[in-house]
Amino acid sequence: MVGGGQGAFIGAVHRIAARIDDQYELVAGALSSDPQRARESGAALHLSPERCYSDYRAMAQAEAARADGIEAVAIVTPNHLHAPVATAFMEAGIHVICDKPLGISLAEGQALAALAQRKNLLFALTHTYSGYPLLRHARAMVEAGEIGELRLVQVEYSQDWLADAIAAGGMNEGNWHNDPHKAGPGGTLLDVGLHAYHLVQFVSGLTPHAVLAELSTFVPHRTLDDHVQVMLRYANGAKGTLWASQVATGCENTVRLRLFGSKAQLDFDQEQPNALWCTPQGGNRQLLRPGRVDSAAARHATRVPAGHPEGYLEAFAQLYLDAALAIRALQAGLPVPEEARWLPTVFDGVAGLAFAEAVLRSHAAGAQWTTLAS
């Protein structure tokens, strides 16, 4: 693991996720660039002292050189380090599991994708929500034609944790989210907007060809955007709206996706992840539930019987499980197995960065329709 020292939220989440399905053992880390903090964080996690690194490049080289070196690295650093860290480990032949966003520019992302392909390594990107069984089922329904042709997309990602004045603690996870050098050129856009965008692609299977976007910053002294509004156009004529906000007063972590097809509507909110609403045109709503839907996709991502709710950590674990399946296949020279094919990878990351880049261009042009780079 790179990043994720003591006190870091997302590092702890990755470690729980890696444990749940018992496919990983944490044996080495560059948990902090500060040597003492790296050592102490490693000790708290029972790492051998010699495998507690304070430099990720050193770690990549040392682990690659060990007979029992790591097979995969989890990258949970601030955004600007995702690309250099991932590059170092891929150059050393080590598989990568990276937090989102893939990087802070489209070019960076494209380079990572090329490298992963060249080295034939797995590059998993933890777009967590795609691990929920009902979103897997939703995708299976779309692929089976059950919603018909897509017409409308409505997606939102809304939180309120940045709604307070900065002095009042509104940036309580450290300042790097407000620093363009570390966070990249987008605030809310890269932090949660890309999750929303990925979900639409994940479930619909479609990529918009153009966006029209406006970024806003509501809280004084904030450098980056804290609110994003986007219109979407698809080649088949479908239209959509995406909004992401971290100043959505009173919202915890709403990630709601609605797809309206010619035959049916799908409706999902990750705050109620054991509920997928499916409504046929003109008909009654159905509340689909993990243990009650019949798809291999949902079964693969479900651990317990109907009525035993699974949540965010299990969705996260699903990505780790799928990554393990994929890595084993690659190690054996086999194709990635069918059930792991929905794991988000570096290519999803590139798609997200292409979207972000178009959003930034549209906004800079005063909210003009802007074509995505292909």
Q: Provide the minimum distance between the beta carbon of 99 and a copy of itself in the complex, in angstroms, as a whole number.
A: 15
Q: Which is nearer to a copy of itself, 278 or 323 (CB)?
A: 278
DSSP H/E element including 268: strand 264-269
Q: Which is nearer to a copy of itself, 265 or 345 (CB)?
A: 265
DSSP state for residue 30 in the 8-state scheme: B
Q: Which residues of 297-319 are buried (b: 16+ CB within 10 A; e: fewer)?
A: bbebbbeeeeeeebebebbbbbb
Q: Provide the minimum distance between the beta carbon of 220 and a copy of itself in the complex, in angstroms, as a whole number.
A: 11
Q: SS3 of 11, please?
A: helix
In whole angstroms, what is the distance from residue 144 CA to residue 299 CA?
17
Cα distances from 72 to residues 29, 246, 363, 368, in angstroms, run: 11, 32, 38, 42
Q: Provide the minimum distance between the beta carbon of 232 and a copy of itself in the complex, in angstroms, as a whole number.
A: 10
Q: Which is nearer to a copy of itself, 223 or 236 (CB)?
A: 236
What is the rounded (10 degree) CA torsion for 321, 322, 325, 331?
A: -110
Q: Provide the minimum distance between the beta carbon of 7 and a copy of itself in the complex, in angstroms, as a whole number.
A: 14
* Contact between residue 244 and residue 215 where contact means Cβ atoms under 8 Å apart: no
DSSP H/E element including 269: strand 264-269
Q: Provide the minimum distance between the beta carbon of 339 and a copy of itself in the complex, in angstroms, as a whole number.
A: 18
Strands laid side by side in the 210-216 sheet: 276-280, 264-269, 254-261, 150-158, 239-245, 227-233, 210-216, 370-371
Query: Which of 239, 238, 246, 240 lies closest to 215 in space, CA to CA?
Result: 246
Q: Provide the minimum distance between the beta carbon of 326 and a copy of itself in the complex, in angstroms, as a whole number.
A: 21
Q: Which is nearer to a copy of itself, 102 or 231 (CB)?
A: 231
Q: Which is nearer to a copy of itself, 207 or 254 (CB)?
A: 254
* Contact between residue 31 and residue 52 where contact means Cβ atoms under 8 Å apart: yes
Q: Which is nearer to a copy of itself, 284 or 374 (CB)?
A: 284
Q: Which is nearer to a copy of itself, 133 or 349 (CB)?
A: 133
In whole angstroms, what is the distance from residue 106 CA to residue 111 CA?
9
* Contact between residue 90 and residue 124 where contact means Cβ atoms under 8 Å apart: no
Q: Which is nearer to a copy of itself, 61 or 254 (CB)?
A: 254
Maximum Cα–Cα distance across the chain: 64
Would you list the DSSP string of 109-135? HHHHHHHHHHHT--EEE--GGGGSHHH
Q: Which is nearer to a copy of itself, 19 or 57 (CB)?
A: 19
Structure tokens at 179: 């620093």
